[in-house]
Amino acid sequence: MEATPAAAGATTEPAHVLRSDDISRAVTRIAHEILERNRGTEGVVIVGLQRGGVWLAERIADAIQRIDGQPIPLGRLDVSLFRDDLALRPVTPVSVSDIPVDLSGSRVVLVDDVLFTGRTVRAALDALNQYGRPASVQLAVMVDRGHRELPIRPDYVGKNIPTSRDEDIQVTPEAVVLKKVAPR
């Protein structure tokens, strides 16, 4: 009997969950929610997690400026050295952290593309301590796919997409794609 592609570990046809226009609407909604919750931009800093959260943080910061008329500090944070799975996945320094302001007393909005287990967010919370002690930290994600291993939840979500462990979510500025990966 011949093995089918799925049985050989191949992926099935990807499904587009969100398209570019959907992502733009979600970014605008998240920007409005951030402004409403924080009563404007005073003291708010947007920090994108390297790599997937940076483009999203930039889009959210641009949307906030369009809506409110005020620029908002924008940073980038590489959390690779703060991960709790360094033994499982070696660190390859490819990204640089760049936080343009002291975070002490600020309200930081961490931004990432996908929230899965929560471990990347935990690492980001540790990494933020190098840049001051924020008054609060909020979390914005384009996709919350569930499967949390830590008690972390997002404050702002573009789309909740319940997934199984044999599915993968890819988020780009053009689309959110769900791929089913056959078990190995």
> So what's the pLDDT on residue 94?
64
Q: What is the pLDDT of residues 31-47, one digit of tens each?
A: 999 999 999 999 999 99
Strands 44-49 and 74-77: parallel
Q: Does domain 17-180 match CATH 3.40.50.2020?
A: yes
Distance, in Å, from the CA atom of 140 to the CA atom of 127, rounded to the nearest integer, reads 17
Asked whether 34 and 64 are in contact (CB, 8 A), the reply is yes
Q: What is the pLDDT of residues 155-175, one digit of tens each?
A: 999 999 999 988 999 999 999
> So what's the pLDDT on residue 7?
45
Of the listed ranges 6-15, 23-32, 103-112, the one predicted with least confidence: 6-15
Q: Residue 162, exposed/middle/buried by CB under 10 A (0-12, 13-18, 19+)?
A: exposed
Ranges of each domain in the chain: 17-180
